Structure 1
């Protein structure tokens, strides 16, 4: 079963002595992260350090994307072997290792790193972040599946970003499975209050999207939904936050030349919640292959935005009953209809409060990090008793 105890490993319990070797794709501290994977890892490390857990970083190599495939393959092999060597050199400084592997084609290189870690006989937390972990398992060949099975069986604990993976993992090992979703800093989680929502139901409907501007993220569906609402005489304003190819964004702006659409471009992570505060709906019709748990989705819900999203990745698991989850093939009119139904039924204030509450109870840093640190403490304690 998934370990879901919310009892945190407090600073007094850990006495600041627990040290985690964190291994995976990372960007330099203070630098913008290229993608949600690196951003999620950076946020997790920062959160752990904020809870007095010592974290040693062992970053994956990052060869230039313009390089050839053979060059990048060689760079990854050499880079991960260097990571393994550093783990050996610093083995007296860390108690357990937290690995967030890329898998897919990288697994044949990552298995070498994993073998090095096994030789040191330390607890291993194998963190599955990607939303395509299971689909890739069945899509690729038998050798790939055997490697993944080996990684799962030999790990001490499997951390999963989506509950959908629990059964898959449990079929391959009977050890600990920890639900480890993305989280919102506790300081940004606003307590639910129906009266706050009631005050926001006057004026135009405020729609928002935060993320990469790309076809697979559903940006065109969002623009179509906004237009459909306006065509029905329902006043709506749309705010789009995110970056993408300049030529593509320009084409979208020319095609959807509306005064009620604001393009804010890229906004620093710390300012996103401020930018969407007071809005009503978060539209997220993603079809991106690899979609897992969107940070933007959770952040929007923490601000009381009611989510209207596609049944893709871990969206359904995250949203619960706080909004609408539409079929992945739903178009702009379907999203407009969903927004209109919620708004005209008068259910928006209660759903907004439910979204805040769901984040507070399940996706705040206090809950998620507390659960993870408690698991760390348990694993290290069990090793010391052996």
Structure 2
């Protein structure tokens, strides 16, 4: 039954014109919007603008963009509140940091208008930024928490943080997989393989430590394996990686492939054994790639960056030091001890029990 008398104003990045900008934030927001519409809510999107590169005036132009979008939001939500009997809600996909002040303005406006608002803490840098910021930033961040009707946290690690800052019980709202893409688990074909199939997919960037993946592969070169690195990176960095592959003599074992769409990716993943994820990204949040890999029973061998520990839920699959030998030894140990299938089934179940549309939908529904 459509809840036609409930309107949700949603603010956040969704990809810009034609949806060309694609990242974890955009992907997560699009899924949230999809579910809210599916639940029958009327949804009005207020898209956070992206900076326009203007020589010498970047910051000024970006500020004008942000404020102009806010003014459009204010008049739209004000008149909806004043002229209709609809129940109005506001959902802000928050990225704090330098955006904290404009986000505060949105939340404070809704609080003033007596509109229920949801503040969603996304990405993985909230704690570090808060602890390393001055009292002004901390004041605005805490004010957002206090003036919001409900706080959603992308990372389980944020629950205690919100409690310590504002004595508020937040709700865990992780990234998730749409039900249509949830994999019906079957590992038998992969488990009988004589070749270890490894994969990384996502942004090909230094912060994702893709170069380190080559070092891992170089330390298991005595074993029969294939590693595919799938994604988009700058031409210079991709060329650097290809050169290193040649130098290390891995050209018949490691392959860099262009980005794949969801359908293509989901045809590749059921044949993979390990997802290599030695990220050193300072603001690593809940990686969509990590969840998607685990959905298909691909076992992650991961760093402790971001929310990886609470997502993977097994310290045996997490490596504390950035030592390629440790990563390689972990892969070989799991494979040679015939433990891969157990870990694979475990990972698939973690996703099905925690990170699917069906699980998350009830959380969203309860907020409105």
TM-score by length of structure 2 reads 0.91
Number of the residue aligned with 2:204: 213
SS of the aligned residue for 2:318 comes to strand
Q: d(CA) in 2 for partners of 1:264 and 1:285? A: 19
1:139 alignment partner, one of 132, 155, 158: 132
Q: d(CA) in 1 for partners of 2:230 and 2:87? A: 39
Deviation at 1:79, TM superposition (A): 2.6
Number of the residue aligned with 1:381: none
Per-residue CA deviation, residues 247-280 of structure 1 (Å, 9 max, x unaligned), is 2101211210311222221112343222222100
Deviation at 1:133, TM superposition (A): 0.5
Deviation at 1:224, TM superposition (A): 1.2
Q: Please state if 1:76 is matched with 2:69.
A: no
Runs of 4+ in 1 over 6 A off after TM superposition: none
Note if contact 1:306-1:323 (Cα within 8 Å) is conserved in structure 2. no
1:239 alignment partner, one of 200, 223, 228: 228
Q: In 2 relative to 1, CA 156–72 (structure 1 residues): closer, same or farther, beyond 3 Å? A: same
Number of the residue aligned with 2:89: 96
Note if contact 2:8-2:42 (Cα within 8 Å) is conserved in structure 1. yes
1:59 alignment partner, one of 47, 50, 63: 47
Note if contact 1:322-1:351 (Cα within 8 Å) is conserved in structure 2. no
Q: d(CA) in 2 for partners of 1:65 and 1:37? A: 21
Q: In 2 relative to 1, CA 141–126 (structure 1 residues): closer, same or farther, beyond 3 Å? A: same
- Name which of structure 1's ranges 255-264 and 287-296 shifts more when overlaid on structure 2: 255-264
Per-residue CA deviation, residues 100-152 of structure 1 (Å, 9 max, x unaligned), is 12211121222222222112212111100120111111111100001111110
Q: d(CA) in 1 for partners of 2:4 and 2:174? A: 24
2:12 alignment partner, one of 13, 20, 24: 24
Q: d(CA) in 2 for partners of 1:81 and 1:123? A: 19
Q: In 2 relative to 1, CA 17–279 (structure 1 residues): closer, same or farther, beyond 3 Å? A: farther
Q: Please state if 1:177 is matched with 2:165.
A: no
- Count of matched residue pairs: 359
| Runs of at least 5 residues in structure 1 that lack an aligned partner in the other structure | 1-11, 377-386
Deviation at 1:323, TM superposition (A): 5.7
Asked which structure has the greater RCO (Cα within 8 Å, sep 6+), the reply is 1
Number of the residue aligned with 2:32: 44
Q: d(CA) in 1 for partners of 2:366 and 2:181? A: 23
TM-score by length of structure 1 reads 0.87
Number of the residue aligned with 1:228: 219
SS of the aligned residue for 1:158 comes to strand
Q: d(CA) in 2 for partners of 1:280 and 1:36? A: 23
Q: In 2 relative to 1, CA 322–140 (structure 1 residues): closer, same or farther, beyond 3 Å? A: closer
The CA RMSD over aligned residues, in Å, is: 2.0
Q: How does 1:110-121 map to 2 (within 5 A)?
A: 110-121=103-114
Note if contact 2:177-2:291 (Cα within 8 Å) is conserved in structure 1. yes
Per-residue CA deviation, residues 292-325 of structure 1 (Å, 9 max, x unaligned), is 0000000000011001110010000000128611
